[in-house]
Structure 1
Amino acid sequence: MSPEGVLKTDDQAHAARTLWNLLHAWWQMMPKQERTLANADAAIRQARQDIDFLAVLPAQAAQAVLKTYFQAWKNCWDGRTDAPNFKSRLRTVMSVDIPQGRDLNIVRVHRRWGMINIPKVGRVRFRWTKDLPVGKRAGAQNRITGARLIKDGLGWHIAFRIQTLQAKPDPHQGPDIGIDVGVTVPIALSNGETYEHGAWLTDKEKARLLHLEQRAARRKRHRKPGERTSRRLHRTYDRIAGLRAKAKRRALDWQHKATTTIARTYNAVVVEALTITNMVKSAKGTVEEPGKNVAQKSGLNRSISGEAWGRTVTLLTYRTARYGGALVKVPAPGTSMRCSACGFTTSGSREFQAVFVCKNPDCGWSGNADHNAARNILHLYRTGLALVPAAGRAVVRRAKRVKPATAR
């Protein structure tokens, strides 16, 4: 994308974020009986006439913001997510929605590149990474319905929405598997297999990132209170964001490949129902009751957030369904302290972090702690304990055993 196109797309993303915030303010001010889609649409049209910079956002993209906002409230009422909130400039991912696929006019230039039409931006070249239903491949049941522009530290990217007709997959014939997620071993299976990865950045990239962070801190320290951020500091921030985006892209690529392999191999994938938000809470405490081991807990929180356990479960959820399997959640308490051989539970079984030693004198089994937890997770599923979501919360239900039919 040319520099001029980047500026135009940035303006559209800022206008979309502003429109969301205006909708949120309108929603809070209006009485409940007047919070309708028609009234919100009229308010958007009036805002686009009164505020000049909102006109850079296409009308279809503005309607997409409205539909997304109302869908966010529906998800909140159903208990799936929290209530929508104000979108800040620094913490919000810049994005623009193109809801109509017929406006794209996609043309493949050659093997690696294609051309697309972005409303109020013009023709833009993009890298062709996946097959798209364009030309002879397009049809009523296999077509592009829209796209979404997303910006990160590496620049603008485009994601296409494709409507396709797929046959219902046959039931998966593979075995069941339990999965324990961790920090040292990201994914440990109950059969002893592990999925591990190295550092997301090379040594040179880590040194470069450290140098840039030190430079940013030094330049920020010399800035006077109330003074605007210099262009040099902005460029330093952009380089830091580029390296972090590169690390995130590599992590996401590893997660996609690992979850695809698991979904293709196994039938029922059993995981723990972890409340990750509670696990990564700070240990600072209060002034009256300060916390302990704050620095160690902060490092653990960063490691847990870096592994993105929730995203792994999300990827496994739709991938297992695609290949005919299913993802099942079981209660998390006690899985790491319970012996998978005899069922004896004690808090002193993990004297070493990676080794589990059963304290039962009649058992004495020892093995890898992650594999032991994964075996316990699978055992909970086989005994009939599973978490079934109901009205936004999870409840424990025991599966009924089906008696085999007998001939009369």
Structure 2
Amino acid sequence: MDQVGLVKRQFGHRARLALSPAQAAVLDGQAHTARTAWNLLHEWWQLCRRDQRTLAAADAVIRQARKEMDWLGQLPAQAAQAVLKTYFQAWKNCWEGRAEAPEFKARFRTPLALDIPQGRDLQVVRVHRRWGMVNIPKLGRVKFRWTKDLPVGRRADKDNRITGARLVKDALGWHIAFRISVLEPAPAPHTGPEVGIDAGITIPLALSDGTDFHHEPWLTEKEQARLLELERRAAHQKSCRTPGEPTSRRLQHTYDQIAGLRAKAKRRHLDWQHQTTTTIAKTYGTVVVEQLPITNMVKSAKGTVDHPGTGVAQKSGLNRVIHAEAWGRTTGFLEYKTRRHGGSLHKVPAPGTSQRCHACKTITPGSRESQATFVCKNEACGWSGNADTNAARNVLADYRAGHALAPAAGRCSRQTRKRAKPPTAR
């Protein structure tokens, strides 16, 4: 906290860049150069002795390589330093058990990205209501879509400013992700009501007060038909390819079209999640969700050769739907948005919330008649209603009964720490 009643908030904002084909080609080349610099640094790390793996030695290697290799010169010097710092931070995260060891970045499996670590190099200005201009090193002034008021011009100072940016390319083109630091008033405690949330498939989010949040399919019928056609075309083109033969341009073009449709669906999903979680965070002071073991929920039912599973196709379809809903991402959005609005997020154990009647607190076989209906078979109760609403009320009741889980921020599982062990000692 810098001043009384003020807190510093750091966040990111992503905007779409308006690039010409020539400008996009320049950024593609710079991003591939940054990826290659990472791979060269990774090879140098593996060849060096332990006592030579220092930041100063790696910096000297990068500087010497930029002098000897002309193609490394197209990468801005600050971007090359960002690659170096990111690589060393990746090893630090590995040693501390937060991530796996850094690996070689393949050309076709690695998203293209490029860092602009210094905010003063960006020189962001607003042109008019819908567009802004940003300076990209070795590329010049580029327009980007203005969808959020940024601390630029007279609004920018040492406490409210853009500290850097990262250029990222996905199936929809190049985007710029600004890193922003602002000083704003500390949020007052939220006085809104408590609410429990049940995440499901039929109803994406059901609240304990009876409110439901639904969404339409992320792709229209025409887009879904187009996606199916492209997937069939890709399968046919792949079947005609000789094993070991490089991917043809036609097949790669089909893959790009498929990726574009899927990226469009993901963008719509993210927009719905942001709007929904913002509404919940503004309305309720205490939000309670289930601690869902999603990794266990989406395990395959294939089984083994000796003990094959049953209902494999049905379980695969269910797993795809669970992945598509992205419950974990929704919880992550709720966590930081409730904190920003002065509220709090709590998690309770998931077992029993869907089978237990919230009215009589008993579990009777056959109460869950269908995916959407819950009818309590306890003769003394007989409550009936929406199954997801019943589960949401159980979630809230468990929190009020003191069953909330302790926050586990910054921790990782034993399996993750074991997998993240570096190949060589520090």
TM-score higher than 0.5 = yes
Deviation at 1:324, TM superposition (A): 0.3
Amino acid at match of 2:225: A
Counterpart for residue 329 of structure 1: 347
Instruction: Choose from 84, 90, 111 the match for 1:66.
Output: 84
Aligned equivalent of 2:139, options 115, 121, 126: 121
Tell me, what secondary structure is at the counterpart of 1:207?
Answer: helix
Deviation at 1:262, TM superposition (A): 0.2
Partner of 1:404: none
Q: How many angstroms apart in 2 are the aligned matches of 1:135 and 1:150?
A: 25
What secondary structure is seen at the aligned counterpart in 1 of 2:338?
A: helix
- Conserved? CA contact 2:167–2:174, under 8 Å: yes
- Separation in 1, partners of 2:54, 2:308: 47
- In the comparison of the two structures, how many residue pairs are matched? 395
1:227 aligned onto 2:240: no
* 1:150 Cα deviation from its structure 2 partner: 1.3
| Map of 1:265 onto structure 2 | 283
The 3 A distance-change label for structure 1 pair 74 and 394 is closer
Deviations 1:217-268 (A, max 9, x none): 2222222223332222222222211111111111110000000000000011
The percentage of aligned residue pairs carrying the same residue is 69
Conserved in 2, the CA contact under 8 Å of 1:149 and 1:158? yes
Deviates more, 1:338-347 or 1:145-154: 338-347
Matched, 1:102 2:120: yes
Distance 1:394 1:363 in 2: 43
Q: What is the match of residue 275 of structure 1? A: 293
- Determine which of 371, 377, 389 is the counterpart of 2:395: 377
Q: Residues 1-80 of structure 1: matches in 2 within 5 Å? A: 1-27=19-45, 35-49=53-67, 52-76=70-94, 80=98
Matches for 1:231-246 after TM superposition, within 5 Å: 231-246=249-264
- Code of the residue aligned with 2:24 in structure 1: it is V
Inter-partner Cα distance in structure 1 for 2:232 and 2:111: 25
For residues 71 and 346 of structure 1, the distance between their equivalents in structure 2, rounded to whole angstroms, comes to 53
Q: Is the 8 A contact 1:78 1:392 kept in 2?
A: no
Name 1:177's counterpart in structure 2. 195
Tell me how far 1:155 sits from its aligned partner: 0.6
Q: Counterpart of 2:169?
A: 151
Q: Secondary structure at the match of 1:96?
A: strand
Task: Quote how far apart the aligned CAs of 1:47 are.
Answer: 4.8
CA distance in 1 between partners of 2:363 and 2:44 (Å): 54
8 Å contact kept, 1:20–1:69: yes
Higher mean C-alpha displacement, 248-257 vs 43-52: 43-52
Instruction: Tell me how far apart the structure 2 counterparts of residues 268 and 98 of structure 1 sit (CA, whole Å).
Output: 38
Amino acid in the other structure paired with 2:177: A
Matching residue's letter, 2:130: R
Q: 1:311 aligns with which of 315, 319, 329?
A: 329
**In structure 2, distance between residues paired with 1:381 and 1:76:** 35
Letter in 2 for 1:362: A
**Structure 1, 186-195 or 341-350: larger mean CA deviation:** 341-350
Calculate the TM-score normalised by the size of structure 1. 0.89
Question: Is 1:215 equivalent to 2:229 in the alignment?
Answer: no
Distance 1:31 1:106, change over 3 A: same
Secondary structure at 1:184 match in 2: coil
Offset of 1:20 from its aligned partner? Answer: 3.4
Change in CA separation of 1:314 and 1:24 when aligned onto 2, cut-off 3 Å: farther
Counterpart of 2:320 in structure 1 is: 302
Which whole-Å deviations, capped at 9, do the CAs of 1:51-89 have from their partners, x for residues lacking one? Answer: 554433222222223333344444455555455444433
For 2:43 and 2:351, the matched residues in 1 are separated by: 42
**SS where residue 25 of structure 2 aligns?**
helix
User: For structure 1, which segment, 186-195 or 270-279, has the greater mean C-alpha deviation from structure 2 after superposition?
Assistant: 270-279
Looking at structure 2, the residues matched to 311 and 23 of structure 1 have their Cα atoms a distance apart, in angstroms, of: 33
Match runs of 1:342-353 below 5 Å: 342-346=360-364, 348-353=366-371
- Residues in 2 aligned to 1:279 and 1:128: alpha-carbon distance in whole angstroms: 40
Q: Distance in 1 between matches of 2:305 and 2:70?
A: 48
CA contact (8 A) 2:365 2:377 kept: no
* Aligned residues of 1:320 and 1:326 also touching (Cα < 8 A): yes
Q: Distance in 2 between matches of 1:332 and 1:49?
A: 58
2:346–2:404 contact (8 Å) kept in structure 1: yes
CA distance in 2, matches of 1:217, 1:388: 48
Cα distance change, pair 382–202 in 1 and its aligned pair in 2 (3 A): same
In structure 2, the residue matched to 1:251 is 269
Deviation larger for 13-22 or 108-117? 13-22
Aligned to 1:365: 383
Query: Shift in Å at residue 205 of structure 1?
Result: 1.1
Query: Is 1:131 matched with 2:149?
Result: yes
Which position in structure 1 is the counterpart of 2:15? none
Question: 3-state SS of the aligned residue for 2:38?
Answer: helix
Deviates more, 1:248-257 or 1:127-136: 127-136
Query: Secondary structure of 2:385's partner?
Result: strand
Cα shift at 1:49: 4.9
Q: Structure 1 residues 270, 42: CA separation in 2 closer, same or farther (over 3 Å shift)?
A: farther
Give the drift of 1:26.
4.8
> 1:378 aligns to what SS in structure 2?
helix
